Amino acid sequence: MEEQLGTTNLFLGMIAVVSVLEALLVIGAGVALYLVYRRVTTLLGVLEERHLAPAMARVNTILDDVKDVSATVKAETERVDRAVRTTMDRVDDTADRVRSNVRAKTGRLVGIIRGARVAIETMLGTTPA
C-alpha cells in the first residue's frame, strides 16, 4: 500500500505543478491581452486623431455647403414659381381683355354686316336660310 500512496502522491504533485503552471499561463495570457488592448486603444486614438477627425471636418464642411446650396435653390425655385404664376395670371388677364375688346369692336361690325346682308337679301327677294 505504501507504493500506491507514493504513486498517488507523485500524481498529486504533478497535478499541483501543472495547476500552478496553468494558473501562471492564464495570468500571462491575461497580462498579454491587457497589453494588446492598450496598444489597440492607443492605435485607434491615433487613427481617429490623424484620419477620422480631419475627414469628419471635411464632410461636415461639405454638408454645410450642401445645406446652403439647397436653401438657395429652394428660395430661387420659389421665386421663379411666383414669377411664373404672376406671368400666367397677367397673360390670362390680357387674353380676357383682348377677347372682350375684340368682341366689343367687332360686334358693331358684325351687326352692320348682318344688317347689310338682310337688306340685300330683302332687296333681291331671297329668304334667309
DSSP 61-109: HHHHHHHHHHHHHHHHHHHHHHHHHHHHHHHHHHHHHHHHHHHHHHHHH
Mean pLDDT calculated for residue range 13-38:
95
**pLDDT score of 126:** 64
Which has the closest alpha carbon to 115: 128, 104, 105? 128
Instruction: List pLDDT tens digits, range 57-71.
Output: 899 999 999 999 999
Could you tell me which residues come within 8 angstroms of residue 127 by beta carbon, excluding any fewer than 6 positions away?
121
